[in-house]
Chain A
């Protein structure tokens, strides 16, 4: 659907997912790597656990649906070539420290003078401005500063981050949306603009409960494992069942799923005194914490006597709002995802292998939105893009390679 738009993707792992989203939507995304390849190619896991820049599954996952070239943008000849390339582009996505692109003569003002329609999206730890903009940070640092580790984990252990690099994926997804916002404006204005994404602020936005808790109640949540804070109370949201875990939450402001649970328990003779109540008149908000906890415990005991599958089935039928806790193998085998065609086989001829990728980020009735082809090898499309498309001669290309520009 974004067919016809060109993206130059200069990001590292902080911004990979942005270009991937646009590439799945059909944009011609060209990953621009330093000569020899992006250092993020060394991020595990690797195909068959063999560390190799051409075998990083992390790289594959976030750089599929992109083509790839190598270019030294710190070299004057590389900078000239980049300018030519950027004249053909609608979007540039980058994640260098603020000021780096300007230093190379490739800042937004320089590039947009040549190509006024250009949209440039920058994904950086703290954004392009502000007292922290030059701080050294990484995912866990940004999560910690953004308040997400403070509320995650157990009280007897250090604050805990999420897993993998959630802050980067959040920022990359915001960046994709921001880039398309700028595209929408371009219709009316005819000109591009800069999109400045602060990973830190993306995390602060994801941490949506705590800032309002603090502002309105002057209370802070401490780390409490599986408890979920709502208002002045905390509710456990992960429960062991017969063969795994499920999540379920007693929400006093929503009586329906609680009532549905009690009705099921009543059918199996396990509802106790709660089965005798007139649920048309129950307002859980008016219950004392002790009363809420007593019912929660009865429901938890009931959960412990059932399997994940039984609980999931009952939840769909009865509206319990309960969820199985799936590991990735169960996700891969999930009948709902299989029925929706969520997996797509992508070929890796160099590995002699074909394996499944997540097919789409969302479904739509018009146009295509799905992963198209595997991530590029180092410099895979140098000849195609610099030669065929930009018209550089074979001799020039060879010379640039020898000089280390490509």
Chain B
């Protein structure tokens, strides 16, 4: 049985917006941290304006993109540029363990909430800034969206076919990668604080985290002077290694052969055609040398099967293999995702019942407990009066003054 939430008792004051910042605090919130998202009614989080929307109605509380990046959080609206808003932020920082932000570098300090200021309010505060290129250095002012990290860090030049321009995936990949390091940084900082009583300031970037994900290519350059380029679906240590056609329209199967055992398995699955025993395909090295021809012959074989039937044959022969799936497979049919409740149905106050993404990390005793995402300012009354102890009278006064806008 679950003991309790992993991050129970941890409070996060969250200024971050759009993709990479909110995803980091989403994971903390899913594991039980109280994440208070500070929003503005005048300058809404761009994530709230990102498609798709429920019933195709553009509205800050109807964005599925926002919902998926902000589960389990609380939302307040606050004019952080008004002196009274500044005072409220200070109160929030006082009850927080972590402050997270993803403004263009320098902006948070100008607002009066730089790390040095926050330390005066709460000496052991942990603060993380998430940016594309870093808080320091000549290009610190660089700003861009999720694709910037992949572009600057060398990823895009590796993506695609050798005979064509780079191909960019349909996601802002760095927005997925960077938050994983931000979460690690914050959890590590909590551990450090527990041991030493000290907070810290964390500077995570899209470019530097993305570089970790092409580390072998980086070393290949520094050690050998090689500038790696695009190799399509191939792998330096397997052959065949690719996506092969099956019967039907746009149906495909991925398969990969890394060692002799798997090659024998594939040959068995193909019912040992004569070509498969030719010396040009006998070893991994020779298969790499004759990969064009190898892929053609395998594609001729795979094209005679429905993709599910082919995967069954390949799995029986213990060859790494699986069908190319699309989002409808994942959302509507996939038995693995269903059994592990990778999407969980919850009711959002405006969107209604819909899928919510569960972290792909299962903790046996303290699993994530995903809640829905907040509407704009949904938790104003709770946070201001209950958590910060602002009296009802003062709350109404501040409300009328437009501080909660």
Contact = CB atoms under 8 A, between A and B. Distances in A.
Contacts of A382: none
Nearest to A183: B191
Interface residues of B, number: 155
A17 B328 CA distance: 31
Given A169-B213, A176-B184, A367-B192, A325 B336 contact: no
Interface stretch (A29-37, A132-140, A265-273, A289-297): A132-140
A138 B320 contact: yes
B343 interface: yes
A147 B361 CA distance: 19
Interface stretch (A78-86, A98-106, A227-235, A395-403): A227-235
B254 A42 contact: no
B343 A195 contact: no
Most chain B CB within 10 A, of A175, A253, A285, A328, is at A328
Interface residues of A, number: 157
B269 to A, nearest CB: 12
A398 B61 CA distance: 68
B162 to A, nearest CB: 11
B209 interface: yes
A17 B363 contact: no
Given A154-B164, A177-B184, A61 B64 contact: no
Contacts of B304: none
Contact of A212 (B64, B137, B164, B243): B64
B361 A174 contact: yes
B233 interface: yes
B208 A159 contact: no
Contacts of B365: 185, 189, 191, 193
B188 A25 contact: yes
Interface in B151-209: 151-161, 164-171, 173, 176-177, 180-185, 187-192, 194, 196, 198-205, 207-209
Interface string A317-342: 00101111111111110111101101
Interface stretch (B45-53, B85-93, B106-114, B371-379): B45-53
Interface in B271-302: none
B244 to A, nearest CB: 7
Most chain A CB within 10 A, of B230, B244, B315, is at B315
A44 B237 contact: yes
Contacts of A237: 147, 168
A137 B322 contact: yes
Contacts of A198: 340, 360, 362
A61 B52 contact: no
Given A245-B165, A326-B154, A364 B254 contact: no
Contacts of A214: 326-328, 330-332
A356 B54 CA distance: 49
9 contacts: A139-B256, A142-B322, A144-B323, A145-B323, A152-B170, A211-B343, A327-B229, A328-B217, A364-B200
Given A237-B168, A361-B184, 12 more contacts: A136-B318, A136-B319, A137-B321, A138-B238, A145-B325, A158-B252, A159-B252, A176-B180, A206-B176, A328-B227, A361-B212, A365-B115
Q: Which 3 A-B pairs give the minimum distances between C-beta atoms?
A: A231-B51, A201-B360, A144-B254
